[in-house]
């Protein structure tokens, strides 16, 4: 059975060009880039090339790119550094719809005595900008707002929010794990101080991430030890994965416009095909300002997990808007923050595409998903 993969916001396939670029550094070019000899030096050159490619994708300087193990490490490091360099400030500002990589870190610092403000969102998942401006204070050490939401795909007004932060002398970080490679980002014109992203969302392997730290921003390393990454992240560089991420960044930069158009077209076809065939369903999030590859659809009075299980039997990979907590099924924190009605939120399914998604795969989902929902509703204990 072939796999129709619609879970690209969870992880994406490694691009063939990325794998090809990595292989020499897994076989023959195994030198340590910190070594003085020529054998290690050629490896160091490959790391620099990857750093430059990533900087080009982001509109940054190569010296502003710090390699990490993943987006979560990048997020934790950004928060850690902001607090350690400003011990006199005791306030963090974020939103209720962040990824757990930020929310759990914010809650940790809250337990350490910091004051944390979690901005609410409206029924489309949009942030109230007036509330945001009112919440900024002279005690705010860091604002962390995601560039795009991993569940519903909303793109947030990071340019405007970062400009307001700069005017108030507050550091601004954005978790851009879902945005990089899917929407243009130019940090040369966007006053973001720190930005996180992860390689496996843009067709590089799992286990490599990036933290962008703007020149001039005070920085404290989260991992201490050797001198790697200009003293900002200790540990011997993961050269094959760094090289792979560099190639993935190059491909993303070359194809971002056509990828956005193609993914949005297929996403819209998928979404419209399902909505036209399934009564009582909602599109979650802001349909006017979202990622081109993401749709989150809520089906009334049906379990999202049951839909996923039935899809899986047909080789269709998707994800749910629900999470299992303490043995009970609860809608995700994002859908709760948006205020999706419980009998819809419980049946939410996220479908996320990539540049490798085909028309045939979209047609396959449109063909089978409506029947799955109909059959599950027929046996559902909920009243339709």
CA 34, 39, 44, 47 torsion-angle sign: negative
324 a catalytic residue: yes
Q: Is 4 exposed, middle or buried (0-12, 13-18, 19+ CB in 10 A)?
A: buried
Given the residues 70, 281, 317, 324, the one annotated as active site = 324
Q: Is 46 exposed, middle or buried (0-12, 13-18, 19+ CB in 10 A)?
A: buried
CA atoms within 13 A on the CB side of 223: 19
Determine the Cα–Cα distance for residues 304 and 29; give it in Å rounded to an integer.
Answer: 47
Determine the Cα–Cα distance for residues 144 and 105; give it in Å rounded to an integer.
Answer: 11
Determine the Cα–Cα distance for residues 122 and 132; give it in Å rounded to an integer.
Answer: 13
Neighbour tally for 31: CB within 10 Å: 18
Task: Please identify every residue annotated as catalytic.
Answer: 324
């Amino acid at each position: 059975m072939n796999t129709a993969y619609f879970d690209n916001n969870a992880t994406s396939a490694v691009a063939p060009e990325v794998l090809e670029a990595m292989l020499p550094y897994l076989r023959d070019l195994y030198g340590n880039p910190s070594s003085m000899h020529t054998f290690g030096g050629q490896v160091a050159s490959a790391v620099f090339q990857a750093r430059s490619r990533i900087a080009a994708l982001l509109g940054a300087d190569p010296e502003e790119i710090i390699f990490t193990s993943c987006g979560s490490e990048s997020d934790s490091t950004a928060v850690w550094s902001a607090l350690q360099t400003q011990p006199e400030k005791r306030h963090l500002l974020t939103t209720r719809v962040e990824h757990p990589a930020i929310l759990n870190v914010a809650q940790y610092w809250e337990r350490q005595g910091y004051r944390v403000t979690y901005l609410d969102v409206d029924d489309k998942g949009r942030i109230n900008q007036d509330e945001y401006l009112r919440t900024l204070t002279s005690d705010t050490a860091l604002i962390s707002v995601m560039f795009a939401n991993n569940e519903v795909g909303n793109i947030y007004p990071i340019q405007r929010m970062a400009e307001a932060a700069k005017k108030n002398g507050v550091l601004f970080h954005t978790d851009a794990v879902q945005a990089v490679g899917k929407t243009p980002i130019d940090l040369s014109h966007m006053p973001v101080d720190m930005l996180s992203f992860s390689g496996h969302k843009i067709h590089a392997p799992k286990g490599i991430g990036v933290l962008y730290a703007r020149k001039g921003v005070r920085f404290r390393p989260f991992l201490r030890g050797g001198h790697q990454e200009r003293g900002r992240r200790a540990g011997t560089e993961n050269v094959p994965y760094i090289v792979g991420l560099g190639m993935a960044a190059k491909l993303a930069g070359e194809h971002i416009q056509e990828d956005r158009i193609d993914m949005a077209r297929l996403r819209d076809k998928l979404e419209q095909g399902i909505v036209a065939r399934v009564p009582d369903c909602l599109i979650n999030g802001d349909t006017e300002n979202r990622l081109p590859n993401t749709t989150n659809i809520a089906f009334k009075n049906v379990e999202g997990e049951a839909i996923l299980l039935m899809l899986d039997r047909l080789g269709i990979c998707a994800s749910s808007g629900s999470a299992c907590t303490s043995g009970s099924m609860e809608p995700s924190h994002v859908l709760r923050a948006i205020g999706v009605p419980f009998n819809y939120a419980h049946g939410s399914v996220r479908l996320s595409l990539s540049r490798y998604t085909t028309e045939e795969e979209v047609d396959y989902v449109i063909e089978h998903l409506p029947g799955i929902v109909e059959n599950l509703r027929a046996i559902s204990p909920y009243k339709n």
